[in-house]
Amino acid sequence: MDWDSFAEWGEKAARWTQDYHQTVKDKPVRAQTEPGDILNALPELPPEQAQPIEDIFQDFEQIVMPGITHWQHPRFFAYFNANTSPPSVLAEFLTSAIAAQCMLWQTSPAATEMETRMMEWLRHALDLPTGFAGVIQDSASSATLAAVLTMREKALSWQGNQQGLFAQKPLRVYCSAEVHTSIDRAIWVAGIGQQNLVRVLTKGDWRGMDPVALEQAIQSDLDSGLHPAGVILSVGGTSVGGTDPVEECLKVAAKYGLYTHVDAAWAGSAMICPEYRHYWQGVERADSIVFNPHKWLGVQFDCCAHFLKNPEDLVQTLAISPEFLKTHGKDGIINYSEWSVPLGRRFRALKLWFVIRAYGLEGLRTRLRNHVNWSVDLHDRLATEPDFEITTKPMWSLWTFRYAPDGAVDLDDLNLRLVNAINDDGRIYLTQTRVDGNLTIRFQAGQFETTEDDVRVAYDVITEIARSLT
């Protein structure tokens, strides 16, 4: 294939894309293939000779597509959604056409300056104070790792990178049990060690950290000669939306001079709506905040917004700046590769620019509000069914339930069978979690094309399949 035939195939791909999105709602949401089906359909060895693009495209449809779980299906209610949207697909198409590697300002000034401006737009959209600077990371996991490394280096007066951790007192980091596993992994990779990630007790409907318990944990570590380094807060945890009392916890952290990071990977997008901001009141006291526009703002993976009160701390932690990467003669330029663990970076700001302009903040807010309202409606309806039990209340559009008919003995087994039967049925897609040790089923709405009717279908499917099991 060469560029001469590209436009023809580009048009075919564009028509395929439109048709896919307009008909995906008629397909089962979760892939219905067995393990190995796709692997076995792919030749064991690569071709020695060029193959026509017709054949490749045909195999894409016949081999690949049956093995796809449709994340853009309007009845994808599992995990958290990872949306795309027409303007985002278009922007990514152009990004891949340009294929710039945007590690330094000079390796594409437009990418750097667009990123600066888009992070300012997002900061404005979330109503964060102007003091915050932003960078786009590939994922929340990477942003959290960068924050934990910064936390570590600050606590060690910037000696960790130089000396390693062998001669240091154990560093201690505090979080609740509701944080995402990316926090554990950042702690491992940063050399802090799982046993130094202190789980502070949670309380209340939001399953948030108890600030009094946080202070006690820090104090008791200080008394034992350990070295508190930072606090990581959850706003909208992945399991049930666990959310810490941000302001009180950040005040405790400030009292002890600890670096703070807020993981709002999913729920951060909702903060473009003023009515949800009470969930993270006081967040402006944090040193580092992360959220994923690639979840709920309609730009596809990867696009993670990372805000920093003092980006100098992050740059001091991560920048190496060997001579051959230096950009001479331009003052005040930003080399975003100094703000992240990977050196190479994609032009991720373009899709934000397309999407925010194509929908406007008001268009995005309307989608988010609809998702929350429709999800809460479904919760209210299921709550009136005597054979169902609400296990956690809605946090934005996420809540959990169990099927618990009179006389049922093993509810964990029943609910696992229920979630599997629902996903085999294919009309909707749900996932399970554990709440206080009990298996329970999550519901969340957040796909960009979801309608109120799709959420109503979820009610029919859940009640119908549950009652057919007993």
Residues that bind ligand PLP (CB under 6 A): 80, 139-141, 180, 182, 236-238, 263, 265-266, 292, 304
Q: How far is the CB of 239 from ligand PLP (least distance, A)?
A: 9
For the CB of residue 293, give the shortest distance to ligand PLP in the complex, in Å. 10
Q: Where do we find the tokens 């009990």?
A: 438
For residues 230 and 237, which CB has a smaller minimum distance to ligand PLP in the complex?
Answer: 237
Rounded to the nearest 10 degrees, how much is the dihedral formed by the CA atoms of 8, 10, 12, 17? -170
Residue type, 329: G
Q: With respect to ligand PLP, which residue has the nearer C-beta, 156 or 243?
A: 243
In angstroms, give the least distance from the CB of 185 to ligand PLP: 9
Q: What is the CA radius of gyration of the chain?
A: 24
Give the nearer residue to ligand PLP in terms of CB position, either 292 or 423: 292
Q: Based on CB atoms, which residue is closest to ligand PLP, 147 or 334? A: 147
Residue 216 makes CB contacts below 8 A (sequence gap 6+) with none
Compare residues 262 and 382 and give the one whose CB is closer to ligand PLP: 262
The answer to whether the beta carbons of residues 282 and 112 sit under 8 Å apart is: no
Tell me how far, at minimum, the Cβ of 305 lies from ligand PLP, in Å: 11
Contact, 75 vs 429, CB < 8 A? Answer: yes
> In the bound complex, what is the minimum distance in angstroms from residue 127's beta carbon to ligand PLP?
20
Number of continuous H segments (helices) and E segments (strands) in the chain: 15, 13
Tell me whether residue 264 or residue 461 sits nearer to ligand PLP (CB atom): 264
Query: How many Å apart are CA 2 and CA 5, to the nearest integer?
Result: 6
Residue nearer to ligand PLP on the CB measure, 349 or 465: 349
Backbone phi, psi, residue 113, to 5°: -70, -35
Q: How far, in Å, CA of 254 to CA of 250, rounded? A: 6
- Burial of residue 32 (number of CB atoms within 10 Å: 0-12, 13-18, 19+): middle
| CB of residue 410 to ligand PLP, shortest distance in Å | 30
Asked if residue 400 lies in contact with residue 390, where contact means CB atoms within 8 angstroms, the answer is yes
Nearest distance from C-beta of residue 265 to ligand PLP, angstroms: 3
